[in-house]
Structure formats: C-alpha cells, structure tokens
Structure 1
Amino acid sequence: MNSEKAALYIPAIFLMTLLFAGTPQVFAQETGSAKKWGPKFSLEYRPDRSRSLARFDALVPLWQKTNALVYSDLRYIDVSGTGFEGNLGLGYRKLQHNLPLFGGDWIWGAYGFFDRRKTSFENYFSQWTLGTELLTPNWSLRANGYFPETTGYIVGTRPGPGGGGGPTLSGTTVVAGAGSTTIVDKEWALPGFDVEVGYGIKTIPDHVLWLYAGYFKFDRSETAEISGPRVRFEYRMQNLLDWKGSEITFGAEIRDDDIGGTDGLVLARLRIPIGKKLDAPAQGFERKMTEFVQRDVDVVTLVDIAETRGAGAPPIIVDPDTGEPLNVYIVNNDGTGDCTQNNPCRISDVEADSSYGTGDVIVLVDSSGNIVGDIDLTTTVGSLGSDRRQVVGVGNDPEGNIVLTLSSGDQLNLNGLGARPTLEGTLTLANESQIRGFDIVSPGTAITGNGVNGVQIRDINVVNAQINALRIEGLAEVSVSDFSVQQVGGDAIDLSGTSGEFDFNMIDISGLGNGTGLNLNGSSANVGVNTLNITGTGAEGSTGVDMGGATGTLSVTNAGTIQNVVTGFDFDANSNATLNYQNGIINAGIPVNTVGVINGEYNFIDTTFIKDNNLSLQTGFGGNMYFVDATGNGLGTPDNPTSADFVETNATEGDIIFLVEEGGTGNIFATEGLVLRNNQQLLGFAAGDAIVDFTGVNPQFQGRFAYTISDPTGNGSATLSNNGGAAALLLASDVQVRDFSISTVGESDGIFGENFTNANIQNIQVTNAGSHGIKLVGATGSVRISDSSFVNAFGEGLEIIGGDAEIRVENSVILDSQTNQLIDIADTSGGSIRFDAATTISTSNIRGIRFTNIQGDLEFNGPVDIQVSSDAGVTATGLGTSTVSFNDRLDIKTRSGSGLIVSGGILNIAGGSIAATGGTGITASNTTVDIILDSLSATDGTDGLNLTNVTGTITILDRTP
C-alpha cells in the first residue's frame, strides 16, 4: 500500500471509531422515543477481469425518530494498482405504513455524496453524486446522477499521422520524423446517470435472493460515450449464528458497453452492526432503513484523444523508463567533431558529453583505421543513467548500412557508414547493454562485465585478445550469438565463479593458447549453447571446457567440435553439475578428465571421442598411455616412443602400454621380460587400430568412452621378447593383453602368471617358446584366452598349476610340444576350464595331455588330436569329483604307450578313436565313464581295455584286441 492510501485510512478509521462509540451527539433522536437503528459496517470485495476492488463502508445514523432517519455514509475504495477513492455521503429516509401501493409498506429516500478519486495515471478527480430511492419489502427502485469536475489531465503524447517518415537525428539527438504531428491523450471524469430496479425472493428464513436490472450512461463531449445495460444478483444471508443485524452476501454482475465490452465480476460482502445495544431494534421491513445506498462504485473516467498538434519542431524521442532523450554518437579513431556522421568524434568525447545517458548509442565507423580506446558503458554523467546503452558497427553489410532499434522501440536507419569497424581496447558492459557488428583487438580482456543483466552480444569477432575474449563476473544474465574468437592468450569465454543465466548461439573459438575455451570453473550458472566449436594450438594446459567445481548446468545442442587441446572437458572432485553434450566430436589429449568425480550427471551420449596421445598420455580415467618400440628412448608418445624397460619401471597400475612395430629394427626386448602391474593393458596393432573402452568406469558419465588408437607406423603386429628372466611377459591381476606376438630367448615362457586374479588374453601368438607357451600358477577369478596360438613350445604349450580360476579358451590354437605334454593341468582347487568348439588342440610330438589331481570340471568342446611317440596320449588321474568331457572327437594314436589312462571322477567321450601301440587302449579305475568310440585298438600284446571298479558305459563300434 502506498503512503497516500495509508494517509486516508488513518482519519477514516478514527472517524468510524468516533461514530461507532454511540455518543448522544451522533445518535440524536426525538425526545422520549427509543432508538431503532444503529451504525453498520460493511466490507466488500469485487474482482473483475481488469482490476480488483475492496470497499470499506460505514453507515451511521445521525438523527432518528419513529419513522424517519438522517444518516451519513462514509466509504473508502481501494483499487488494485495505484488508484483509490473516498466518498462522503449524507441521506434521509422516510418509512410509511399501510399504503395501498407496493404491498402496503414503503421507504422513500434521497441522498448526496462528495467523491474524490485518484486514478492509475495519478490524476485526482472530484464529483458530486445525487440520488433517490423507493424501497418495499420485495421491490427496490433507485436513480443516481453523477456530476464531476470538467478538467481533463494529459496522460501522454504519441506520434500522429503525417510528416516525413520515421526517426532521424538532429545533431546527436534522436527525434521523430520532421513535420510529424503529435496526439495528446487526456483523462476525463464523465458525468452521467444510472437507474436500477430490483426484486427480492425469500428462500428460507433470513435468506433472500435479489435480482437487479438497470441501465447506465456516462458521456462528455470530449470523449466517447459509455452506456449499456447491467444485471446483478445477490444472495443475502441474515442473522448468521444468531448475530442479529449481521448479513453475508454473495453475488455476481454482468454489464455491457461499447468501450469495455461485456464484463463480469463477482462480489462478497460482510455487514455487521456496530455500537451500543439498541433500546428497541428495528424488526422486519424497518431494518431496510439502514440498508447501504446502491450507486456506482467510483468516479467514472476515460482516456481519449484531446487534441492533435500540427507539424512543428519534431519531438525528441526518449527512453521510456527514464524519460532521458536518446542520443546516437558517431565515433572513429581521430574524430574531433560533434559526433555526427559528417563530423565524428572520439570515445572520450562521448563519455564526457553531458547528454550521454540511458539508452544512448555509440556507432563505430571505420573511416580512419582501428578505433583505439576503452569503452566503459557504466560511465555516468551527472544524474543520467547507463542502462540500455549500445555499441554497434555495420557488421558485414556491403553498403555500410545499419538499422538501430532504440530503447524506445523506434528504429533509426543510418546509411553509408563504411566497412566493418575494429575496436582496439576493452569494452565494459552495463545492464541491458547491446553490442554488435564489429571486431575487437584487445591488449587485455576484450569484453567484460560484473553483475550485468539483460545483456545482448551479437556478431562480434575478437581477434588476438591477450587475456580473455569475454569475461563475466557475479550474478548475470547474458545472451551471446554469432561470437567468434581468433587467437586468445588466456580463456576465450570466462564465466568462472558466476551465477545466473547465459545463452550462447553459434560460438566459434580458434587459435586457443594455453587457456580454456569455455571456463565454468566454480560456476553455478545455467548455460545453454547451440553449436560450440573450439580449436586449440595444442599448447600445454589448453582445455576446451572447464567444469571443475561447477554446480550449475551446461546444455550444448548441435555440439560441434572440440579439437587440438590437451583436455576436452575437465572435471574435478568438486564438480557437481549437470551436463548434456550430445552428438559432438572431441579430439584431445584427454577427451574427458573424470578423475575424482563422484557427483553430478554428465551426458555424452552419441559423442565421438578421439584421443591424441601426442598431446597427453593421460587417459582421463586414472591412468596413462605409453608407446613402446624396439629402439625407443623417448617420452612414450606415438611420435616419440619409449622402451619396454622404461615402462616397466615407470608405468603404474591402470596404465596402458602399446607395442609398436617400428619396421626393420627387430623385436621389442624387455631385459628380464616385461612385468605388468595390476589393471594394466598391453596392446599391439595386429588387428589394426586398437580400441580402449572406458565406458562405465565412472558411473557419473553417460556415453561410450571408447578411444580408437591408431597404429603410429601402420606396420601392424609387434613382437615382444626378452633377454632373460622367467618369461617374455609376466601377468598381474586384472590385466588385458592383446594383438601382438611373443618370441622368447633361452628357457623361458612366452606368458607366465602367478597368483593373479582375472586376465584377458586376446590375439597373442607365441611360437617356439623356450619353455611353456603359457603357464598359469595359482590363478583365480576369470581368465579368458581367445584368438591366440601357442605353437611348438619346447615345454608345455599350456600349463595350469593350482588355483581355482574360471578359464575359457576360445578360437585358439594349441599345437605341438617339443619335449613335454601339450597341455598339463595339475593340483587345481576348483573353478572350471573350458575349450570352445573353435579351439584346435593337436600334437604329433612326444607327449599328449595330462590332468593330475584336479578339482573342477574340464571341457573340450572341439576336436582333440593326439599323436605321440612316448608316454600315454591322455592321462587323467586323481580327478576326485571332477568331470572331464570331450564333447567333440578325441583321437589318440600312440607309438609307445597307452592311449587313455583315467582314475577318479567322471570321464565323458562323445566320439573318436584310440589306437595304442605298446600299451593298453584304455586303462580306467575307480571312475564313472560314458565313452563312445568309433574304434579302439591295442597292439604289441597289450589289452584294449583294463577296467577296475568302473561304472558307466563304454561303446566301441569296432574293437580290435
């Protein structure tokens, strides 16, 4: 509530209190008669589509006798907005009984009011209101006349028809078109009248429904007429909760006229008796003597055209909020004039001008080279404001034309301003600043602002900013479109630590040095970007987008490309933001740095990641990448590889090592064999480009984080070797090994692992190993060997000792052993070992396959071909509770030994043949068997079958003793 309204409430409340006190002076009466009528207070609320209204009303008897009453009616009306009104009324009513007309009893009365209203235009109007009424128990007739003052008040002016076109410049001042007319609008109070008839229908005791119909007309010669019908209903409930004289009313009203059209309202009213208890309170129809007067609620006003002023001096166009005249200054580098197009001035001249205020425009022109100097849009002169200022250039218009949209909404055309201008300095923004259509070269930060709102930046190209292209601080609201940055020493767009709302469209940043393209570090702002392209120079420390410690949101649509930077997106342990970056391309040393992030949601779905290891060896998921070749002694980048001994010493858990075939320089040697650490990956390029997949490593990040690593030389598979030690490659837990070859020196294994958990070995070729092709001791967890070959090892091709791992051999080749078993499995404590149907197991050398004291099932799902010159073909002893199954063919041929020896457990053979020379075909004891063979033969005087305590079935389709 404003102060003027409050000032009216105070005396109104005081006066009502005095009147309700019931003093003899107020309630004068005929001598000897008892008082029938006391004061009443009413509170009414009625909203319609254009405003809401609250009315406070006090009716106070001033003099009364048995059938007559003089009363005052005091009203205060509070209207939504700035308007209000007060009414001071005086009336007389006479009660007549037993007349033949109108049901026998009736009341007639007359009244007058003095009204004072303040409108929403802050104009004051006075008015006299006179009325008369006739009331019966069921009917109500009223007529009112309204007689306001005749003065009209100007509420505004606006350009009228005629004259010479739109806005133009008079010096630097913007004026309406020359010779134009001006329309003056005035607010008037309208005289008029209204009449109304009402009829009451009793429903239940103390409840009455009143229906009203009426007509109103308000008219003045200077305005249009307001007239039309009005209907209303009111439902009145009296004496609620036994409170004599109280009344609650609910109602609605509809009116129609040519100005306001059809309008409706609803109303709610509370009336209560106030003051001392009456001697003989009125009953029945007599209570209507203190019914409140029905009249129009306020002084009726209307704004209409008062006059049209003819052509003359063109009016000055002003800022609508401050009323300050709008100015346009034409600025070049060396101007000394009055800031007009024919006589430009310098920036300093504008900032010193006493008229430079709210909504003013600086137009940069390229008539004398770069415009050197800083522009501070917050500069104020005297009491003038700095909001809504503009700095503009012609942009890329070939004719040098520009259309200025001023803060008033008017458009000003300027032509022939030359080429796109360049500002050489710093531009400081103010609230609601607009800048567009020019380039900036800055020795510091090109554009800066602190706590600015409503800012618009359009078609700006920043070239060679030494610090930032755009730096915003504090709580801000900024919109940026068609913004390009070429060469920047620090951050291109720095929003670090900000809050508020930022909207970007078509952002292109190139030549980024060691700074950040979009810096949101520590920001809580909500940022939207449509198309973001960032190209760096590969400088150390360069970052595409920094969201370290960010807690706001970033949504990038039509994401664009981030390339040639060390880090694409950077996060840290304090990040707790929401990111949506989809369908983009990120080509960086570290495409996304996720290390330490435990909060937030970061969506990179359908984004393509390309890792440039020449910019950084870090993965962004907690490890590094190293490239190794035969002669390398560098940092381990693709262009500068290192040695196997270097990575063994310096690589840590989680690192990824790539073996590169240099070409013509021989094998990659590890002095004592290459010893891996936990969670490392050792990868080659035998299958072409390598793919490293970090998807799901950090659950806060959505998307497929699979990096394609290209073969630096294109020579394919490298070969790892050793100069000594137990093996060329020694495994650790949770390692991945794939896509290269192994060649050993001396009596060493190709691959050796001891007491480790989990390994994935894929596409590894081990030939002529000095000892075992692959030897696993005490393995646990999951071990997968796929697409690999172990051929012609001096010792076992595959040896497994102890452990309880789940071992799977898929699509691999285990072929020939020079001196020992092809496969030797002993002393396992659990788990299972399975060879799939695509795995080839075959030997034609000295010994075959041996299983000794194993726990856990063993399956061969592909063909097994054993042809040996010494010892048994297959030995399976001490099986315990294990099941050994040959689910395809098992073909055994011996030249000096038994074909198959089995004890304990369960043995299943689905097909095949056994041909033993110098030994028994099948020797089985204490076991359960299910054997089907095409043929079984034993020669040189031995038995085909030697069975002891065997259950199950043996089916020989063609047995030869």
Structure 2
Amino acid sequence: MLARFLRSPSLLSLLTCWLFCFIVTAQSSAQDPEWFEEDADLYRAYFDFSGMAGGVNDAGQGLLFVPLAQDEESLFFADLRGNIFDNSSAEGNFGLAYRRMIDDQWIAGAYGFYDVRRSEYNNIFKQGSFGLELLSIEWDFRVNGYVPNLKQKRVDSLSTAYLSGNNIVMRAGEERAYWGTDFEVGRLLKTFDNMNVDAELRGYVGGYYFDNSAPGFKEIAGPRARVEFRMFDLPFLGNGSRVVLAGQFQHDDVHGSQGTGLLTVRIPLPGNGDSQKLTRFQRRMVNPIVRDIDIVLNQARGPEEHTKLQLTGQMLNDITIIDANTVNAEAVFNGAGTDSVVLFDGSAGTISTGTGFVFNNGQLALAGGKSVNVVGCNSGAVTSFSYGSQPTVIGANPASDVFTMADNSSIVGMDIIGGKNGIYGNNLNGFTIACNTITSAFEDGVHLDGNTNGNITGNTFVDNGLPTDNDGLEIENFTGGSITGNIARGNKYGYYLVTVSGGIIRDNLAEHNVYDGFDFDTFNGGTFTRNIAQHNGEDGFYFDDDITGGVFSNNIARHNGNFGFNMDGMTGGTFRGNRAEDNAYAGIAFFDDITGGTISNNVAVRNDDGFYFDNDVTGGTFSGNIANQNRYNGFWFADDVSNMTFTQNSAAHNGVNGIKFEGTVLAGAMISENTAIANDDDGFDFEDINGGRIVNNTATGNLEDGFDFDDNFVSGVLRNNTSIGNAFNGFDFTSPIQGGMITENSAQSNSGNGFEIDIFSGGNTATFSNNSATQNSGAGYDVISGTPQNGVGTNSGSGNGSNNGF
C-alpha cells in the first residue's frame, strides 16, 4: 500500500510539506530549548568516511555531521555528503534534520535532502528527498521518499541507428531518474560487554521500490537486509568515534542479487563536548541518517524515430540503394530526384561509370560501410550509422567527370578513382563534399568552377592531375563556406584556389605533392588558418598575386623543396602566426611591393633566409616576427623601405646577418625595438640611410658588427640603440655621414671599437651627441676624419682601450 501511495509525485510533494509542518509544530509545542548556551553542547560534529564494495557500483562516501542547534533532548543538524563511484559518477547530498527525545524511550526524527548527481554519462540529475524515523536503544523504524526531476537525458553512446525498410531510423539512448521509496526495520541483536570497547550488533530488514513510467524503464523493487557490527569511543580515536563493519544483501529484477560490504570510520571534530561520552540513548541522536546513497538511475532506448544526417541536416528517408548490380545506375541515381538520398553499397563489388552520376538539387550520395553521425529527429540524440560495404566508384572515361554536383547536394564517404575530375561543379551553393577519397583523376580530384559557397571537409586527394599538371582540389572563386580537415598527397599540386574572397580554409594538409602544396592567385578575404604544407617538391604555399584582405594565420610550411611561403605582394589583410622551418629556400618571401597590411608573430627557422622582401616596402606593419638559425639572413629587405613599421622582431643565430636592409631606408620608416643576437655576421646591416627612424634596437653577441652602415648616412634618426658584446665594432660607419641625428646610442664590451666612423663629410649637417661607449676592447670612438656639425664633447665612455670621449 505504501508503494502505491508513493507512486504519485504529487502525493510525495504533499508529504514533504507535511513533514516540515510536523517539525515546526513539534518544536513550538515543546518547552523552548536553551540552544545557544555554550555549556549545553552535548552533541559534536564529526566526519564519517565510508567505503562500499560489491553492489551495483563500488563507492566511497564522506559525511559531515554538523549540529546547528541543540539541547539535551533535541537536535537540529546538517548532514552533508559527497559520494564517488567506480563508474566515474559522483553525487552530493545536502540535508537538514531534526530529532527529539520522547519520554526518554524514543527519538522521533524528520529530515529533507537536496541531491545532485553527475552520472557516468555526464548527465546531471537533481532530486528532493525526505524521511521519517523512530529510534530507541533497541529499535529502528524509518521510511524515505525520493522525488527527482523526471526529464530524460541523452546517452548517445547507447543510441543505435539502422536501416528499416528504406529509412534510416534510430532508437535513442536515454537516462532517467526514478522516484520511489524505501523503508526498513532494525533491532539490536547483541551487545558485547566483555570487549575493551563498547560494541553492538544490529540487524535490519526492509525493501525498496523505484519506478519511472517512461517506456522501456523497468521498476526496481525488492527486499533488503543488512547487519552492522558497531564499535564506539575507540581509545585511539577518542570519545565520539565509531567504526562500523556491515554486510548488506538486496535483490531486484534489474540488478539481480547484490551483496555489499561496508566499512565506516568516524572522526569526531573538536568542540565543547570533547571529553564527554554519550550514553547509548544519547548516541542514537547522532546516528547517521540511513537513506539511499544515490539518485536511482537507469538507461534504456527510446522509441524508433526518423533521423537526419548530422553533417548536412538532411532527412534520411526513402532511400535508394545502388550497387554493382544496379542496371543503368546513372539513370537510377538521377531519377531518384530532388532532395533524395542514394546509398552506394560496395558489397557486390566495384561500381563503374562511363558517363558519370549527375546530382539533382539537394540530393545526397551516401557511401555504405562508412560510419556517419545521424541525429534523431525527435530526441536530438546523435549516434553513428553504417550499412553495407565501402563502395569504390571508378570513372572509366577520362573525358567524363565521375560525379557532377548541384546546389545543396552532398556526397559523403565515397572512394572515387579515375575520371576526368572525381567531382565537378559549377557555381555551387550550399553543397557538402565530405569524407571522400579521390584518387588518380585525369585532371582534378575536385574541380569547382564559378563562385563556390559550400563545405568541403575530411576528404583525401591522392595522385590526381599527374598527366595534366593539375590538382587535388581546384576552386575558381571561393566566396564562403568552409574547406576543413582535408589531405592532399601525391598530386601534381595539392590545392589550387584561383580567388579566395570569403569563407574559412582550416586544418588542411598538403604533403608530398610534386609541385606546390597550396596555390593561390588572389587572396582578398576570408580566413586561411592552421593549414600545413610539408615535403612538397616546390613551395609549401605559393601566391601568384597580392594579398589584399582577409586573414592568413597560424599555417606551417616545413621541409619543402623551394620556399615555405612564396608570396607576391601585400596591400592589406593580415599575415600572422605562420611558421616556416627547414625549407630549401627562404622561409617567408615576398616578391612584389608591400604597401599595407600586417605581418606579425611569424617564425622562420632553419631555412635559407628567414624572411625575404624583394621589392619596395612602402607601408604595412612588421611586428613580433622571429628568424632563428637560418642559413643566411634572418630578415632581408632587398629594396627601399619607407612609411612602414618594423618593430619588436628578433633574429638570432643566423648564418649571415640578423636583419639586413639592402635598399635605402627612407622617410616614414620606423625600425624600433628589434633584437639581433649571435648572428654569424652583423646584427643589423644597413645600406643608405636617407630618412626614417632607427630607435631602441639591440644587437648582442654577433660575430661581426652590432650595427653596420655600409653606405651614406644622409638623414634620419639613429637613437637609443644598444650594441653589446659583438666580435667587431658596436657601430660601424664605413661611408660618409652627411647628416641626420645619431644620439643616445650605447656600445658596450665589443671586441673592436665602440663607434667606428670613417668620415664626417665636409659640409655635413650631422648631429652626433650623447652617445656612450664603455668597456670596448678598441677605442670608444674611432673617428678617422671630420667632425659632426653638432654634438662634439657630449659623447662619453669609460673602460675602453682608448678614446673614452668624443
């Protein structure tokens, strides 16, 4: 009768309200306890640590018992628990309870809990629970009720999808909490007066009933029995301690028979009652509340439901199957119509086509034997589906495309060999090409003409375009969508994108292609990021025209036969966070003018030159780039620079110069806060200086000069630069200084002269002032001839081989 009563969650809620009314009424009718008097603290807080093994799950529990208010006959307390289980689930229980002695014979108690559980499937469940208890020295009576949130949670790992008729359907795995009740009666069986510690043996019998009315979820009900051997006030733990050894048995139709062993150790916490030893009856006031230790859960599969392909969202109904035995398969495919689903099954052997398969708008070609994720239309659950065997579709005619796409069409999981192009399309929108392997096409693995806006993901392009110098993937104008997670290997060219003006191109790999990994004509928008080009015969990334916009970031070029990044010019956009290493030529090279944009935080390591700029640089920002251990120069500007910013870049351990400006530095150029360390020639190597600002740079430990000026210093500012510990001179001016401002620079501990100046030319307008030379092996200032117009006498030094001032 009790189980039937508690089947209704609404009745459980009413009982909860009654429970708390009982507590308030009982307290108001009693004599007011002296709860807040410190000398009345009889009941102490404690920790219980428990371990349980042998049941549905092994578990560990920590329990904190905290008296909140008390006198000798009543106790209001908090019961806080944390549980961990061997299936990686966990639960917290947060309870408040009230107990009161009645006639010195019985203790009546009531309590409520809020429970939160994270299941082994990472679902979160919550419930309210309550209980009533009646205790004496000899007897225990208790009943508990549990009211969880009954909404189901997804368990995708338990879902299953299969072909039913001509539909792909699923039964979704789900997890639910059970409402229910348990009860037990216990009795003191024996006391052990002859032991050194106070000990007793108690036995309990009872039962439990839990249920959820959802289809497929069986009720969990059965008997339960438990025996406990308890020892109190152990000498090594002190008064208030307890050790319990217990064994429990229960049985239900869902879990079968379960035998559980339990060990609990109580550690009393310090308090006013440290020295007090409770009587047997008082000890019952601090007995832990006995209740189910976890929210009762179960898993099942829901009713059969229709599915859609997670990748595209297309419904998987009314499926047509094509295999090697299908007569006139091309007509069957096209005849399936708009928005149809055609499943290619390889179980009967290879599927060959001479004319190719032509898509309708919205049509899906899905490969058998390929695991794809499907989504339940009702539940939203996700699981994998596979049917039959992986098909191989051979294009027998090198003049015909194997598949020709249409708008909003999709091709997933195919193994495509030969044909003119493995997949062809023209001016496509909303399409998907995913998880295909495309091999040995006469021209391109995938060739898309016109404007392209769709998704190309997870494909592999192998050995395509070898007779015709073509590509794994070729797109005329990529305007939107995504190209992600593809691999191009062994093609003549990996990827060729004529124009990129939008979309995302990310996480693609090009390797071991005969020529370039990635080829671009024009890049003026979109995002190109986290792509890798390695071991290609020529360039990793090749640009035939300027970057005018978009973001090109965090790509890697390594071990390629020519350049890592072979760029044209740049007028805008962002080139950021890219890495070039171990390429045969320069790591990052720009062969046309740079007039704008940002080149930042790129790294070039172990290439010929790290960064090479062949033409004029008349704009743009170069910041935070690193060039280390390259065979020649770290940075090499081969032509004039003006109206640009080159800042916070570093070059170390390169085979020639760290940073080389071979052209003229002109007005508007800002070269600041860069470092050149331990390069085999000069740290900074300049030709003509005819404007601009060179400020706050540092050259350290280079094997020739820190700063080397090979041609005329006509105008501009050289200020606050530091040259330390270089093998030759700190600052070397081998040609006339005709003008400009050279001020506040420091040369320290160089093996040659601090400042080596061949000539201040006659009629110069130069200012040479407030520079410092210290601890250089040669002269602090070695000026062969001439004097500057301004600054003589302001330059200082100490500890040099000679000439500490100028």
Please, what TM-score do these two structures have when normalized by structure 1?
0.42
Structure scoring higher RCO (CA < 8 A, sep ≥ 6) equals: 2
| Bigger Rg, structure 1 or 2 | 1
Q: TM-score, normalised by structure 2?
A: 0.49
